[in-house]
Amino acid sequence: MNKPALDGIRVIDLTQFEAGTVCTMSLAWMGAEVIKVEHPKRGAGGRFSFEDPKHDAKGFLIMNANKKSVTLDVKADEGKKLLKELIKNGDVLVENMGPGTIERLGFGYETVKAINPRIIFAQIKGFGNGSPFSKYPAFAPIGHATGGAASITGDPDGPPMQPGLNVGDSGPGYLCAMGIAAALYQREKTGVGQQIEVTMQETIMAFARSSWEAQYRTGEAAKRVGNGMPLDDVAPAGMYHCKPFGPNDYIHIYISRHPGSKSWEQLCETIGRKDLLEDERMTTPRSRYQHRLELDKIIGEWTAEHTKLEAMDILATAGIPAGAVLDTMELTNDPYLRKREMIAEVEHPFHGKVLIPGFPVKMSDTHIPVKCSPVLGADNAEIYSKILGIDAGRLAGLKEKGII
């Protein structure tokens, strides 16, 4: 087994909530040493919940695996000095504070670059520098709205809707991690770092790029299609209820619109309705769309005879694109996903054994076990003594003054 890809890379983590934390957690899963810098009492944003302000929220565990935690009051003068020392010894700094916050703390890019010219300085914000919205606060739902996702989500005759995924947070986090990896590679050639900016709005636009195909085809803004195919008016493409008819007992079936695809013929044969192949109303994806209500009823009668996993197996085995709707509990209990550590078990001192989503990137020559997120300040002694050379007496004094 080779050393991890980012072995030897040190990340100063000034992130909170989801977008930034997903970025730094991804770097940790690729082998980087991630040092999460947190307030001595409050911790980082998202560590504690309103319901239990004394113990780590389980959401924090999900976002901060494989990291180290140090406490530091970065608003205090002595705290700023310690942060500068950490920056001198770091390779990457990641922050996703509110607009202008990092600059007001005195750690904008030019300042950090002067401290350590080799550092990669990465920021995740709602909107880009220079945007008319750049000073506005943003969370994932704001990114979904301003990046186009809400406009294409929901039923055609209903209002825009938020997507069920929090892609406006995790999406920028993953893209930022990708940018950092590229910047680290480039630094091997140039010897200097650079600034990286990833925004929620632009990330959503990137994930929604296929919707521009629909816009250019119709000359109008991409529309909401419910469970249909957003790229084109084609059928069948939708959710079909399966037994025992619970809230998630559905299967999604999509018949390709591309010429040469045999999936329509395969579907008709599989559900015992080869007569539809002779029906002139069903000859093309668009003509089927015009009669989709009747067609959906026919398909729904077949799916109602099967569970969603039975239907998926029958259809997919016949070469028909189909996927059962799996909820979070089903995914958590999936033995295959457990074996791949996409669902990983970690041990927390308060919560005990907790199952959390793992890292979706699997590498043949690298395996980094998923470790539980650190308790607040768990690594103070290691980081401050081994990296900054601070002795036990001074550490005790810093703790007494509330600096760490």
Our answer to whether residue 169 is catalytic in this structure is: yes
Residue that the structure tokens 């390709």 belong to:
256
Phi first, then psi, for residue 239 (nearest 5°) are -95, 135
Distance CA 221, CA 345 (A): 44
Structure tokens at 344: 């990983």
Distance CA 281, CA 287 (A): 6
Tell me if 380 sits within 8 A of 395, measured CB to CB: yes
Distance CA 390, CA 267 (A): 69
Distance CA 173, CA 194 (A): 18
Distance CA 211, CA 215 (A): 7
3-state secondary structure of 183: helix
Q: Which of 169, 233, 249, 379 is catalytic?
A: 169
Instruction: Give 371's contacts (C-beta < 8 A, 6+ positions apart).
Output: 65, 66, 346
186 residue type, one letter: Q
Distance CA 232, CA 379 (A): 53
E strands of 255-300, at which residues? none
Query: Which residues have a catalytic role annotated?
Result: 169
